Chains A and B, each alone.
Chain A
């Protein structure tokens, strides 16, 4: 079982993600530079956080045209689990793999703080081990994290159960307090907060177990048992 961590110029959470996958969850992970394709034997793909291309033009838009995204699109169609965290989420919306857009936070500030998420959909490969409406203490770190969809798209998201995470409180002005969404099939998930910064008790002052369930869910979806 192999997880691909895609690296773009400006990614800066790729090593944290790799560490969590390999050292904490004992998964076989591999880095993939964005200019290369992904091999066929990849079982899950993670687009990590960071500032691909320095957020130039708009966060995620330049990376969304990288060669690797064509392969991510193909894998998404095949039902392979794909997770985008923070800048990875921005890349997924800019590449059209996920609906909506991420705008500057209403405060215009880069927000770096702990927040609480509520699990709104526990049927995805990254949330199957959660109870519905379970709370996750988790850090956010973004400047363009305000999720936006228009009213019609919001209705569609609700109808298709595509809202995966909501913030417990109003954090950054996101439509309907949305913090993470999935595609219609549920295998592509994007979220602004950083689970890779929250799964170890040494660096999580509140409770690291809920965030761990994101990776436990992935293990379960891949048929891996500890």
Chain B
């Protein structure tokens, strides 16, 4: 068994409004000199530490946990799972 760090990023699906991201973009970033930024999306990240036999199993297990316990609401959100050794 090895220990993996797994980053779960929860963000709104495309088409679901993200007023916080819009505010950061329009009222902070674009009011400065950074005119080449076109989009900012906020997200929530959970960092799991898990013991599993390999990277692939760790990812699968975390995906199961996210689905089973509704760590994200599939109606409006999606998760991205990144595993680090």
Contact = CB atoms under 8 A, between A and B. Distances in A.
Interface residues of B, number: 11
Given A108-B19, A108-B23, A103 B70 contact: no
A50 interface: no
A134 to B, nearest CB: 30
A149 B73 CA distance: 12
B75 A104 contact: no
B73 A104 contact: no
B28 interface: no
B69 A101 contact: no
A101 B73 contact: yes
A61 interface: yes
B17 interface: yes
A203 interface: no
A2 interface: no
B71 interface: yes
A195 interface: no
Given A106-B19, A108-B20, A148-B16, A64 B73 contact: no
Nearest to B20: A108
B73 A106 contact: no
A57 B76 contact: no
Contacts of B23: 108
A58 B20 contact: no
B70 A101 contact: no
A141 to B, nearest CB: 19
B75 A150 contact: yes
A98 to B, nearest CB: 12
Contacts of B69: 65
A148 B74 CA distance: 13
A64 B70 contact: yes
A101 B73 CA distance: 8
Interface string A39-73: 00000000000000000011001001100000000
Contact of A101 (B19, B71, B76): B76
10 contacts: A58-B73, A65-B69, A101-B75, A101-B76, A106-B17, A108-B19, A108-B20, A148-B76, A150-B75, A173-B17
Interface of B: 16-17, 19-20, 23, 69-71, 73, 75-76
Given A104-B20, A106-B19, 9 more contacts: A94-B70, A94-B73, A100-B75, A101-B73, A101-B75, A101-B76, A103-B76, A104-B19, A148-B16
